[in-house]
Structure 1
């Protein structure tokens, strides 16, 4: 990771912490995140506004992942770990492959949804959660 990317992620982490603490994202927060993540942040907000983020939690472990809706006509749903991984094409192409982005719009939507508690919660058994992950 470059120094610039590291600084950007540190700034973003501080903003996410402020949003979580306040329970809402101010215009200033969103402006900073948009400056860091560009069009991906705008698209993430659209996904969140459309109710496209679900958190799936396994019981009894409490482990969780996010299912985030895509924007295409097919409305695919991507498995997402906000700080680490998304199953979308952009994550593997733009982030892992080319290193052009810090994260995808689905990761941003999941992080924002979690920070402001604007996601649908679904509880499944740990076995069901494992089956979801096995499809990766």
Structure 2
């Protein structure tokens, strides 16, 4: 499998593991709702992921660790019912498929965003 491609088998496995969150995450990716912010000069990064509600709220997402959405804190942290939220999954899918926009920002800007979590 080449970088940026996903096989049907992989999609089936992801759907089995994540169910509705996978469907929602793929919609977010398909709609161009994932931006990767890369800090300079450190190279550290995080994602801004658009929600699906009418408000189109943007969530700060570090895919391996956290998301600022309500679902992350309720379903994952408090109840332990999900592996990750749809925004974390969307960020991971977009990164794997190369389907996100990338914006370079200063490390100071990245730090300000992280301090708002």
Name the TM tier (shorter chain): over 0.9
Per the normalisation by structure 2, the TM-score is 0.96
Q: Which has the higher helix share?
A: 1
Q: Hey, which bits of structure 1, 4+ residues long, moved more than 2 A?
A: none
| Structure 1 residue runs without a partner (length 5+) | 1-17
Aligned partner of 2:79 in structure 1 is: 98
Matched, 1:81 2:62: yes
In the aligned structure 2, how far is the partner of 1:23 from the partner of 1:126? 27
Report SS of the residue matched to 1:131: helix
Q: TM-score, normalised by structure 1?
A: 0.83
The number of aligned residues is 117
Give the CA deviation at 1:23: 2.2
The aligned counterpart of 1:47 is: 28
Give the equivalent residue in structure 2 for 1:37.
18
C-alpha distance in structure 2 between counterparts of 1:57 and 1:48, whole Å: 18
The whole-number CA distance in structure 2 between the counterparts of 1:55 and 1:125 is 13
- Mapped to 1, the partners of 2:64 and 2:111 lie a distance apart of 20
C-alpha RMSD of matched pairs (Å) = 1.0
Q: Which has the higher contact order (CA 8 A, sep 6+)?
A: 2
